[in-house]
Structure 1
Amino acid sequence: MGHRDVRVRGFAARAGGWSARHRWAAVGIWVLFVVLSMAAGSAAGRVEVSSSDQLKGETSQAARIIEDAGIEEPAGESVLVQAKAPGGKATDEGFRTAVAQVMAAVRATGEVTSVTSPYDTQSISEDGRTALVQFDMRGDGETAGERVEPVLKAVAEVQKDHDALRIEEIGGASMKKTFDDAFGDDFKQAEYSAVPVALGILLIAFGALVAALLPVALAITAIMATMGLMGVASHLQPMSDTANSVMLLVGLAVGVDYCLFYLRREREERAAGRDAATALRIAAATSGRAVIVSGVTVCVAMAGMMFTGLADFQAMGLASLMVVAVAMVGSVTVLPALLSLLGERVETGRIPFLHPDKRRKRTGRSGADAESRFWKAVLKVVLAKPGLSLVLAGGALLAVAAPALGMRTQELTLDQEFGDSVPIVATYDRLNEAFPGGSDPAQVVVRAKDVDAPEVKAALADFQKRVVSSGASRGPVDVKVHAAENVAVVSVPLVGGSDQDRAEQSLAVIRDEVRPATLGAVDGVEAPVTGQVAGSKDFNDQMTGSVAPVFAFVVVFAFLLMLLCFRSLTIAVTSIVLNLLSVGAAYGILVAVFQHGWGASLVGAEGVGAIVTWLPLFLFVILFGLSMDYHVFVVSRIREAKTRGYATRDAITHGVVTTAGVVTSAAVIMVAVFAIFGTLSMQSMKQMGVGLAAAVLIDATIIRGVLLPAVMALLGEANWYFPKWLRWLPDMTHDETPEPIAAPSAARPSTAGATDEGVRVPV
């Protein structure tokens, strides 16, 4: 077979070549794109996910009835007044005085309405020590958290005059304020920490300030552009604050990683003696292509969230998909232009002792070679005993994944979410103890043709009696009738309170027994049950139903992409299996730490007994996408070496060793950024951070360094198996071998060095 020089024609190479030739145009187009995206988002405004869109089932039905009726549901608040001494009673004179002062104080703020006395509503606990002053916040219930501060201050002032009593406010608005404050503070901390952490690791990896700043700058501009695009997209798919947070997390991780892959390959080629233009062409054809394959795979995985039917997940999926696409395009267009513009100046701001040139002088090794020594030693052992390595590493990961078989998911209650880190949690616990279920009552939204009709009134009264006699509630059961809209809202404190399992049993009694026998017996009456417990139950049911379609979509499309991009059935199958193994191990760690509490204190967490409902599916989609980063990058390098004529084992060694430095740096950045979320105060954020960090760490070490080479070594030439009946599929592998620059060598390529001097394309 003869050889001749062939110009690489892949999209990544063409894009990189064009950008390098039209440097200022490429940079200008990118800046214009970012500015126009932000301007378009600002002009279009933003549509937020509404309550009725959040869930399917009864929760959504109830929200739609309220929205259709135009009822502005106020945020309900309560002030818990409790005698500290065991013998104290709500009938004591001092207690009555405190209740009167609380009522006067909250009225005086002008922010509340419908203030009721516990002596009128019988809101006094069974032991007589605790009473509730109840009222509603004026205005829209969704924004009441922003207006509750004066009321909280007024209640705190009353507390100062009564040392023998606990006087504490809790309710929809105050809990929302607590949540938003904690959520906002947490994410500010994460945002402020993530960028400096990523920059610090890049400084260590590159040893030069400008080289380290480039990936961070590109990731930040990609995030800014996506923020604008999210505003435009929200008119088709409403967005949410959660989508913002996930977009930021994913954008920073992939934006930095993609630039890192590209930049390190360009540096490596220059270190091997190639001129700047050739190094840039090779980086575009190899790392640029890996970035595109990886980016498209991540986008496909994110698109899987659209199949959940859950508005928040669909928003997260679309936002993540957009930021990955923007970061991917930026990496293969504006980055080559910037590298071409900067030239040698990319090494400006060299850090003493960290720059590769300094390391080379001290050790006599190139930077890439020095970084790969550890992996060379590991690979020597793995390739000597691939079967044993596969059994040990695979068995260890299966053991780590085993606890996931007992995974229990639920929406976390306030005390589970925050532990004792915020004072309102103690109030929440005291309220639940005195009035079981009172902090998160179920709400039955009743719509009838005529809510004042005798049969409807009788059914409502019967419901009130039966819901208590059935044992589902201890009362008080409150009914608010909106006669003009023919809607009634019944609040039912559930027996079980913050114990989700017991509360769900109470909910089941209401939905399956009490409602059908009372309200369900009246023609034309709708009575969906909503509330925190009902929402958690409906969300869990919806998530369970969406697992199969999301799983199938992500796995099938990832398989097809790998099949097309590597033209190997074996590589496509092993990619999927290894990714699933890393996700399973992450699940096992989550369950062990957060559900069973094993080693929870090591991450500053508590064993809350459950995994937050949305996390398993979210982790599957995110991790399945992100783990392809490393896999595509390493396998691309292995296949590149194989195409050059390496034997399979030598190609494996070459691929893993030459990518060791860049993948290690990328993994450290991802783990560090995700670990920041593991330090936040909210348990759901801790779970997300620990799950993501653990999976990336496992993927970048055990999967990439042990299992992948062990499996490929055992398979040998079967790695490249591509059956004849699939050869009609388009060949997308043509652009992964870079342009040659040296004469062909008669000898088989050596794996001794970190790079090769010549690259040939067989034709």
Structure 2
Amino acid sequence: MTRGSVTVRVARWSAVHPWRAIGLWLLLVVVAVGMSVVIPKQHTQSKDNWVGQSGQAAELVEKAGLGDRPAETVLITDPDGPLSKAAATTAIAQLSQKLAALPSVQAVGKPVWSENGKAVLVPMELKGTADDAADAIDKIVATTADVQKANPELTIAQAGNASVDAGIWKQVGSDLAKAEKLSLPITFGLMLLAFGALIAAGIPVLLAFSAVGAALGFYAPLSYLFPDGGSVANVVLLIGMAVGVDYSLFYLKREREERRKGRSTLDAVEIAAATSGHSVVVSGLAVIVSMAGLYVAQDATFTSMATATIVVVAVAVLGSLTVLPALLAKLGHRVDRPRVPLLWRLNRRIGPAGISRRILAPVLRHPRTALSFSAVIVIALAVPALGMKTESADLNTLPQTIPEVRTLKALQDNFPSQGGLSYDVVAQGGDAAAALAGLQGSAVKSGEFVVPPGHPIRQANGTAVLTLVSVLPEGSANAETALDQLREQLAPAALGSTTWAVGGESAESVDYGNNQRDKLPWVIAFVLALTLVMMAVTFRSVAIAVVTTVLNLASVAACFGVLSLVFQHTWAEGLLGFTSSGFVVSWIPLFLFVILVGLSMDYHVFVLGRIREGVVEGLTPSEAVRKGITESAGVVTSAAAVMVSVFAVFATLAMLEMKQMGVGLAVAVLIDATLVRIVMLPSIMVLLGRRAWWPNRLHKQALAPVDRELVGVS
């Protein structure tokens, strides 16, 4: 890299015209936030997630116009014992009157009493589509709550697709608010430890937060092409804070380092732009390339995650290359004010890489031993991944703190045929209804399925639909067992040559999980191939590209192993506050792989860049590794600490999927930043020597004093 590089030219312009750069950034953020206000974000529809045979069944049902109207159920029980029919009848009358008066309710059905006499349910049919029900559900739930207040001696609660979804999103919103409240002060505290000064600590946090806000705004119009699958805000906050702080940290640390060497503020900014700025660009591209792997999964939710993450990473890179140099140029030495006395002295006393230097010394003296020892640890952590079970999320993986989830479980306990594992068998052509009647008889006779009351065989336009409910308890494994029995035994025997498909909510959940497992190898191949090519081009070294790929796989394997140990067993339940489901949610491994490859490249590129500077300056491979690791260790440690802390916050949330994602990311980054980057990477680089840069032959270059400092990683 030289003074003519793009990152240096952009940084120089921003440093020379700081108010223009700052003003343009503020305008960008304001416009983006304004877009999020005036442009309604689009969400995925159920058809966007149709896959496999259940997707074919859903399409047949939709074309025939046989889809069920959205429905909700009110459950009435007595918390103190047997249900009083008199009290329940009074409450039912109030419910029927109030609910029937709502414009979104089509009809209120007759009450159904449980066989055990402990509960009664009141079914209701809603108008319009599932999306219409979602829009109107708050008023319906509020009406049920009013009847509950009027009958305090009873427990009156509502459950259904719309109300459960609303309860889940309320929990997600609460979790997200908690993550925001915790992550910002924790990140700021870590920056104080890293810099010992308030302004220097505040700049990375401020820029990262503004990047998150801007990215959410820019995603609003993009959601018309890539609708939000429900997790965009979580992912943008998670990734945006991590990479936004890291990119500013890389840049700011290098600028301060150069000022300590006596450089002027402008020269320090240019040197930081040529080195750390270039690493930021490469790191950002690595994350973007990795996230693009989610497009390979051809899943609406993953597509929205990938799009939003690419946007937030691009905005974070732009901010670190433009407004950050402007702020540093304008503040000058004042960036280290006001100092926090104790932290400032501690920061100066420890110095850069105080701890890492001590760890690195034996690694460089005995690289083979260090590599063998670290490899054994990584393999030991990765072994449990061989037994990792992945299944779709179900009722048991949802937090029991959600009232609607508790209601749905109580409904299933008292009315087994009204909930649980439900399947829709769709037949088309010939005498489809008669064929399904035969299937109904054989399914019920098997003792494994029941027909829910009020769900006769529906038929229209040559298509018929039969709803069956499995007697097996709610659970992903049971859902697949019942589905296999229907698809492989009962349906083929009863329906013969008739065109048929088994769908319904339980089948959709199973098919979705299987689809994620099938797509995972393709995503892995896509991401590894692209990142390998990118590293080979960036460093002009095949060896570096291969080493990077191997180390990334080591980190991911260790992460998957820890996930299996934590979430497939019960020993960590009390520590993390969850109930083990015995499996990892099916979409988590695919998502984690993509994220981890991208994030691990974050400081990997930065470390390799500093090592390469030493090689170009003429140092021996061992000296270059020592110089590169020690000079970058402080930044890498701070960057990893930020990532681990942000991800660890998500491990404290109520939603099991967010908890698994947080634990996986935190553990992987911790392993990657310590064992992999401080032990495995330097030992490999020392053992390879100059062959690490093959086929590029680096040698000491005769450069002017200032230009020598601008040697980067191109």
Question: Same fold by TM-score, threshold 0.5 exceeded?
Answer: yes
Q: 1:221 matched to which residue of 2?
A: 210
Q: Which residue of 2 aligns with 1:428?
A: 408
Matching of residues 426-575 of structure 1 within 5 Å: 426-436=406-416, 438-444=418-424, 446=426, 455-476=431-452, 478-479=454-455, 490-518=466-494, 521-522=497-498, 527-531=501-505, 533-575=506-548
1:55: which partner in 2?
50
Sort the Cα spacing of 1:295 and 1:97 in 2 relative to 1 into closer, same or farther, 3 A: same
State the aligned residue count.
710
Among 236, 246, 258, the residue aligned to 2:235? 246
Rounded Cα–Cα distance in structure 2 between residues aligned with 1:690 and 1:552 = 24
Deviation at 1:102, TM superposition (A): 5.3
Q: Structure 1 residues 433-442 or 263-272, which shifts more?
A: 433-442
Structure 1 residues 703, 350: CA separation in 2 closer, same or farther (over 3 Å shift)?
same
- Residues in 1 aligned to 2:60 and 2:215: alpha-carbon distance in whole angstroms: 34
**Aligned residues of 2:353 and 2:631 also touching (Cα < 8 A):** yes
Q: Give the root-mean-square deviation of aligned CA atoms.
A: 3.2
8 Å contact 1:155–1:168 — kept in the other structure?
A: no
Aligned 8 A contact 1:740 1:759 in 2: no
Q: 1:59 to 1:478 in 2, by over 3 A?
A: farther
Q: Could you say which residue in structure 2 is the equivalent of 1:75? A: 70
Aligned with residue 305 of structure 1, among 272, 294, 297: 294
Q: State how far apart, in whole Å, the 1-side matches of 2:516 and 2:19 are.
A: 48
Q: CA deviation at 1:456?
A: 3.7
Return the letter of the residue paired with 2:248.
C
Q: 2:73·2:160 contact (CA, 8 Å) conserved in 1? A: yes
What is the match of residue 370 of structure 2? Answer: 389
Mapped to 2, the partners of 1:684 and 1:715 lie a distance apart of 41
Q: C-alpha distance in 2, partners of 1:463/1:144?
A: 37
SS at match of 1:491: strand
Q: Partner of 2:452: helix, strand, or coil?
A: coil
- CA contact 1:251–1:323 (8 Å) conserved in 2: yes
Distance of 2:464 and 2:707 partners within structure 1: 84
Question: Contact between 1:113 and 1:137, CA under 8 Å: does it hold in 2?
Answer: yes
Contact 1:55 1:311 in 2 (8 A): no
Which whole-Å deviations, capped at 9, do the CAs of 1:432-487 have from their partners, x for residues lacking one?
Answer: 333446434424274758xxx9x344234334333322334133264367777776
How far does residue 112 in structure 1 lie from its aligned partner after superposition? 3.6
SS in 1 for 2:341: coil
Aligned to 1:749: none
Q: 1:694 to 1:737 in 2, by over 3 A?
A: farther
Q: 1:37/1:427 Cα in 2 relative to 1: closer, same or farther (>3 Å)? A: closer
Residue 124 of structure 1 pairs with residue 114 of structure 2: yes
Report how far residue 603 of structure 1 moved.
2.3
- Determine the C-alpha separation between the residues in 2 that align with 1:600 and 1:637: 42
Q: Which amino acid aligns with 1:658?
A: E
Counterpart of 1:752? Answer: none
Moved more, 24-33 or 624-633: 24-33
Q: Does 1:234 align with 2:202?
A: no
Return the alpha-carbon distance in structure 2 between the equivalents of residues 206 and 494 of structure 1.
60
Q: State the 1:339 CA deviation.
A: 1.3
Q: Following the alignment from structure 2 to structure 1, what is the Cα–Cα distance between the partners of residues 300 and 661? A: 19
SS in 2 for 1:695: helix
> Given residue 468 of structure 2, which amino acid in structure 1 is its aligned partner?
V
Task: Judge conservation of contact 2:50–2:58 (CA < 8 Å) in 1.
Answer: no
Structure 2 residue 381 is matched with structure 1 residue 404: no
| Counterpart Cα distance in 2 of 1:44 and 1:528 | 39
The separation in 1 between residues aligned to 2:320 and 2:396, in whole angstroms, is 43
Task: Please say if residues 448 and 526 of structure 1, whose CA atoms lie closer than 8 Å, have aligned partners that are also in contact.
Answer: yes
Normalising by structure 2, what TM-score? Answer: 0.91
- State whether residues 438 and 494 of structure 1, in contact with CA within 8 Å, keep that contact through their aligned partners in structure 2: no
Distance in 2 between residues matched to 1:490 and 1:484, nearest whole Å: 12
**Alpha-carbon distance in structure 2 between the residues aligned to 1:44 and 1:80:** 38
Residue segments in structure 2 that go unaligned for 5+ positions in a row: none
Aligned counterpart for 1:652 among listed residues 609, 625, 630: 625
Which residues of 2 match residues 8-407 of structure 1 at below 5 A?
8-40=3-35, 45-65=40-60, 73-82=68-77, 103=96, 106-107=99-100, 112-119=105-112, 124-125=114-115, 127=116, 129-139=118-128, 140-157=132-149, 160-162=152-154, 167-355=156-344, 358-359=345-346, 366=348, 370-407=351-388
Give the direction of change, closer, same or farther, for the CA distance of 1:101–1:541 in structure 2 (3 Å limit): same
Q: Distance in 1 between matches of 2:263 and 2:596?
A: 36
Give the Cα–Cα distance (whole angstroms) in 2 for the partners of residues 180 and 683 of structure 1: 14
- Partner in structure 2 of residue 3 of structure 1: none
- Partner of 2:227: helix, strand, or coil? coil
Query: 1:56: how far off?
Result: 1.8
Partner amino acid, structure 2, of 1:399: A
Conserved? CA contact 2:96–2:108, under 8 Å: yes
Conservation of the 8 A alpha-carbon contact between 1:507 and 1:534 = yes
Q: Give the alignment partner of residue 677 of structure 1, picking from 650, 661, 669.
A: 650
Q: Is the 8 Å Cα contact of residues 415 and 429 (structure 1) preserved in structure 2? A: no
Instruction: Return 502-511 or 702-711, whichever deviates more.
Output: 502-511
Distance 1:342 1:84, change over 3 A: closer
Q: Name the SS for the 1:147 alignment partner.
A: helix
Matching residue's letter, 1:47: Q
CA gap of 1:704–1:108, structure 2 versus 1, over 3 A, is same
Provide Cα deviations, 1:305-330, integer angstroms capped at 9, x if missing partner: 00001110111111111111121122
Contact 1:75 1:144 in 2 (8 A): no
Alpha-carbon distance in structure 2 between the residues aligned to 1:544 and 1:425:
27
**What is the identity, as a one-letter code, of the residue corresponding to 1:60?**
G
Task: Specify the code of the residue in structure 1 equivalent to 2:360.
Answer: L
Q: CA deviation at 1:645?
A: 1.2
Q: Is the 8 A contact 1:13 1:281 kept in 2?
A: yes
Q: Does the alignment pair 1:605 with 2:578?
A: yes
Q: What's the offset of the Cα at 1:521?
A: 4.8
Whether the 8 Å CA contact 1:590–1:690 is kept in 2: the answer is yes
Tell me which moved more, 173-182 or 265-274: 173-182
Secondary structure at the aligned position of 2:231 is classed as: helix
Against the structure 1 CA distance between its residues 89 and 238, is the aligned structure 2 distance closer, same or farther, given a 3 Å change threshold?
closer
Deviation at 1:29, TM superposition (A): 3.0
CA distance in 2, matches of 1:657, 1:99: 72
String of CA shifts for 1:593-651, please: whole Å, max 9, x gaps.
11122333222233221111110000000011001111111111111111111111111
Percent identical = 39
Distance change in 2, residues 1:599/1:19 (3 Å): same
Q: Report the counterpart of residue 363 of structure 1 in structure 2.
A: none
Q: Report the secondary structure of 2:410's partner residue.
A: helix
Local SS of the residue matching 2:564: helix
Relative distance call for 1:519 and 1:81 in structure 2 (3 A) is: farther
Question: Does the alignment pair 1:413 with 2:413?
Answer: no
Partner of 1:593: 566
- Which is further off, 428-437 or 627-636? 428-437
Change (3 A) 1:445 1:152: farther
Higher mean alpha-carbon deviation, 41-50 vs 345-354, is at 41-50
In the alignment, the residues of structure 1 paired with residue 19 and residue 83 of structure 2 have an alpha-carbon distance, to the nearest angstrom, of 78
**Matched-pair contact (CA < 8 Å) for 1:473–1:492:** yes
Provide closer, same or farther for how the CA distance between residues 301 and 84 of structure 1 changes in structure 2, counting only shifts above 3 A: same
Query: Any residues of structure 2 matched to 1:708-747 within 5 Å, and which?
Result: 708-722=681-695, 740-741=704-705
Amino acid of the structure 2 residue aligned with 1:236? L
Residue 615 of structure 1 pairs with residue 615 of structure 2: no
Report the Cα offset of residue 520 of structure 1: 6.2
TM superposition score normalised by structure 1: 0.86
